[in-house]
Structure 1
Amino acid sequence: MAKVTVRYWAAAKAAAGIAEERCEAATLADALAAVRERHPGELARVLRRCSFLVDGDPVGTRGHDTVRLADGGTVEVLPPFAGG
C-alpha cells in the first residue's frame, strides 16, 4: 500500500473539515473509500461530483480502481468550480 496525501479543495475541504490528510491505499478507489469512511455524510456526496488529480495528472474518465497510487504521492480532490 502506498502512503499518500489527500488534499481537499473548496466544497470538499468544507465537507471534510480539513485541508489534507494522509492515508494508505493501493488505488484511487481505495483512497476514496478510506476518506469516505473517515468522513461519512456530506463528503461522500461531494466526492460524487469531484474530479481528481493524482500526482498532478488528471484522472479523467479512467476507473478509479485502475489508477495506481505511488508512495509519497498526492491526490487532489477538486469539486466543480463556479464562474469562469
Structure 2
Amino acid sequence: MATGTVRYWAAAKAAAGVAEEPFDASTLGDLLAGISANPDLARVLPRCSFLVNGAPAGMRDPRSIDLPEGAVVEVLPPFAGG
C-alpha cells in the first residue's frame, strides 16, 4: 500500500470539495474505488483522465497501474477550449 497525494482539477475539484487530499492505495484502480465513495465525484470520474507522477494513465486498466510511494495522481476532467 502506497501513500501519496491526489489532486483534483476543475469539475473534479468542485465535486471533491477539496483541491487535493492524501491517499493510501496500491493501484490507481484502488484509489478510484476509494474516492468513488463520494457520489458527486463518482459522477465526474468516468469523464476524467489521470496522470500518475506526470505520466498519462491512458486507456490502461486502472487496476494494472501500480502507485509508487509518494505518488501524485492528477484527476483531470475535460477542459473547455483546450
Q: Deviations over 1:7-61 (max 9, x none)?
A: 0000000000000000100000000111112x2x211010010000000000001
Q: Which residue of 2 aligns with 1:48?
A: 46
Q: Which residue of 1 aligns with 2:69?
A: 71
The amino acid of 1:30's aligned partner reads D
Q: Which runs of 5+ in 1 are unaligned?
A: none
TM-score, scaled relative to structure 2: 0.96
TM-score, scaled relative to structure 1: 0.94
| Distance across 2 between alignment mates of 1:16 and 1:73 | 19
Q: Which residue of 2 aligns with 1:58?
A: 56
| Distance across 1 between alignment mates of 2:36 and 2:25 | 13
The amino acid of 1:4's aligned partner reads G
Does residue 9 (structure 1) correspond to residue 9 (structure 2)? The answer is yes
CA RMSD of aligned residues (A): 0.7
Number of residue equivalences: 82
| Distance across 1 between alignment mates of 2:29 and 2:3 | 14
| Distance across 2 between alignment mates of 1:35 and 1:43 | 7
- Runs ≥4 in structure 1, deviation > 3 angstroms? none
| Distance across 1 between alignment mates of 2:4 and 2:29 | 13
| Distance across 2 between alignment mates of 1:11 and 1:63 | 23
SS in 2 for 1:48: helix
